[in-house]
Structure 1
Amino acid sequence: MRVLGLMSGTSADGVDAVLADFQGCPRSPRWQLLERAFVPYEAELRDQLIGLSQGQPASAEVLLALTEAVTEAQAAAAQACDPRGRAELVGCHGQTIWHRPPQGERRGSSWQLLQGPLLAQLLERPVVFDFRAADLALGGQGAPLVPATDSALLPRIGGWRALLNLGGIANLTLLPPRRGPDRQAAVQGWDCGPANTLLDLAVQRFSGGQQSFDAGGEWAARGQVQEAVVQRWLQEPYFRQAPPKSTGREQLGRNDLERRLQDLAQAQSAPVEALDPADALATLTAFSAAVVAQDLAQGPAVLELLVAGGGARNGTLMHELRRRCRGLQLRPLAELGIGDSDREALAFALLAWWHHRGVSGSLPSVTGAPRPAVLGVCARPSL
Structure 2
Amino acid sequence: MIVVGMMSGTSMDGLDVAVAEFELADGLLTLRPLGAAEYPWPPETRERLLGLLPPARVDLAEVCAVDTLVGQASARAAAEAVARFAGGRADLVASHGQTVFHWVEDGRARATLQLGQPAWIAEATGLPVVSDVRARDIAAGGQGAPLASTLDALWLAAEPPTPTPGPGAAQGPTPGTGATRRAALNLGGIANATVVGAPGEPVAAFDTGPANCLLDAAARRITGGRLGSDVDGRMALAGTVRTDLLERLLAEPYYRLAPPKSTGRELFTTDYAQARAAGLPPVADADLMATLTELTAVTVADALLPFGLSEVVASGGGVRNPALLAALRARLHPVTVTTSDDHGLPAGDKEAYLMALLGFLTWHQLPGVVPGATGSAVPRVLGRISPGSGPLRLPEPAGPVRRMAVLPPAAH
TM-score (norm 1): 0.92
SS at match of 2:373: helix
Show structure 1 runs of 5+ residues with no match.
178-182
Give the length in aligned residue pairs: 368
2:270 to 245, 254, 262: 254
Residue 180 of structure 1 is matched in structure 2 by none
Q: Summarize deviations over 1:117-143 as a string: whole Å, max 9, x none.
A: 232112110000000111111121111
Q: Structure 1 pair 78/201, CA: closer, same or farther in 2 (3 Å)?
A: same
- State the identity %: 38
| Equivalent-residue separation in structure 1 for 2:342 and 2:369 (angstroms) | 26
1:167 to 179, 188, 205: 188
| Equivalent-residue separation in structure 2 for 1:27 and 1:349 (angstroms) | 18
| Equivalent-residue separation in structure 2 for 1:27 and 1:243 (angstroms) | 28
| Equivalent-residue separation in structure 2 for 1:26 and 1:130 (angstroms) | 29
Q: Summarize deviations over 1:197-246 as a string: whole Å, max 9, x none.
A: 00010011111222111111011101001235324432421001110100
Q: Summarize deviations over 1:137-170 as a string: whole Å, max 9, x none.
A: 1121111111112222332445111111111000
| Equivalent-residue separation in structure 2 for 1:382 and 1:88 (angstroms) | 12
| Equivalent-residue separation in structure 1 for 2:40 and 2:346 (angstroms) | 17
Q: Please say if residues 19 and 36 of structure 2, whose CA atoms lie closer than 8 Å, have aligned partners that are also in contact.
A: yes
Residue 173 of structure 2 is matched in structure 1 by none
SS at match of 1:171: strand
Shift of 1:261: 3.0
1:351 to 327, 348, 358: 358
| Equivalent-residue separation in structure 2 for 1:156 and 1:227 (angstroms) | 39
Structure 1 runs of 4+ with >3 Å offset = 25-28
| Equivalent-residue separation in structure 2 for 1:65 and 1:228 (angstroms) | 42
Whether 2:89 is the aligned partner of 1:86: answer yes
Residue 100 of structure 1 is matched in structure 2 by 103
The within-5 A match list for 1:107-146 is: 108-146=110-148
Shift of 1:28: 3.2
Higher helix proportion, which one?
1
The within-5 A match list for 1:127-276 is: 127-154=129-156, 155-157=158-160, 159-177=180-198, 183-262=199-278, 266=280, 270=281, 274-276=282-284
| Equivalent-residue separation in structure 2 for 1:286 and 1:72 (angstroms) | 38
Residue 175 of structure 2 is matched in structure 1 by none
Whether 2:288 is the aligned partner of 1:286: answer no
Q: Please say if residues 5 and 90 of structure 1, whose CA atoms lie closer than 8 Å, have aligned partners that are also in contact.
A: yes
Residue 360 of structure 1 is matched in structure 2 by 367
TM-score (norm 2): 0.85
Identify the structure with bigger relative contact order (alpha carbons < 8 Å, sequence gap 6+). Answer: 2
SS at match of 1:63: helix
Equivalent position amino acid for 1:220 in 2: A
SS at match of 1:251: coil
| Equivalent-residue separation in structure 1 for 2:120 and 2:55 (angstroms) | 26
Residue 45 of structure 2 is matched in structure 1 by 45
Residue 296 of structure 1 is matched in structure 2 by 304
Equivalent position amino acid for 2:308 in 1: A
Shift of 1:258: 1.9
Shift of 1:331: 1.1
Shift of 1:53: 1.9
Q: Please say if residues 29 and 153 of structure 1, whose CA atoms lie closer than 8 Å, have aligned partners that are also in contact.
A: no
Residue 337 of structure 1 is matched in structure 2 by 344
Q: Structure 1 pair 128/219, CA: closer, same or farther in 2 (3 Å)?
A: same
Moved more, 216-225 or 153-162: 153-162
Q: Please say if residues 26 and 359 of structure 1, whose CA atoms lie closer than 8 Å, have aligned partners that are also in contact.
A: no
SS at match of 1:17: strand
Q: Structure 1 pair 378/255, CA: closer, same or farther in 2 (3 Å)?
A: same
Q: Please say if residues 225 and 282 of structure 1, whose CA atoms lie closer than 8 Å, have aligned partners that are also in contact.
A: yes
| Equivalent-residue separation in structure 2 for 1:80 and 1:202 (angstroms) | 33
Residue 172 of structure 2 is matched in structure 1 by none
Q: Please say if residues 54 and 265 of structure 2, whose CA atoms lie closer than 8 Å, have aligned partners that are also in contact.
A: yes
Show structure 2 runs of 5+ residues with no match.
162-179, 391-412
Q: Please say if residues 285 and 316 of structure 1, whose CA atoms lie closer than 8 Å, have aligned partners that are also in contact.
A: yes
